[in-house]
Amino acid sequence: MSTTKAQQKAVAKYENKVYDKTLLRLPKGQLGSIKVHAEKRGESVNGFINRSIIETMERDNEKADPKEPTQATEK
């Protein structure tokens, strides 16, 4: 059963409201290895890419935000 034009329009409207989209360009052959890796972890490619970005940003922010020095208390 195919979708109607009204259904396609409704899905597109919903996706435009809820999601930001970007184009990701990968070297030839890399998408296949990403798919295999994501499947092994029970993730979609999109889920894997999102998780990878979030984890990398968190790790980078931890490195960029050094802990504030502890100040000695006055007696």
Q: Locate the domains of the chain by residue range.
A: 26-63
Residue 70 has a pLDDT of 47
Q: What pLDDT is recorded for position 55?
A: 97
Q: Can you tell me the distance from the alpha carbon of 4 to that of 9, in angstroms, rounded to the nearest whole number? A: 9
Q: What is the DSSP string of 21-39?
A: -------TTHHHHHHHHHH
pLDDT digits (tens, 9 = 90+) for 5-55: 999 999 999 999 999 999 999 999 999 999 999 999 999 999 999 999 999
**pLDDT band for position 69 (cuts 50, 70, 90):** low
Q: Which two tokens stand for residue 13?
A: 């409207």
pTM: 0.70
pLDDT surpassing 80 at residue 68: no
Please state the rounded mean pLDDT for residues 50-67.
89
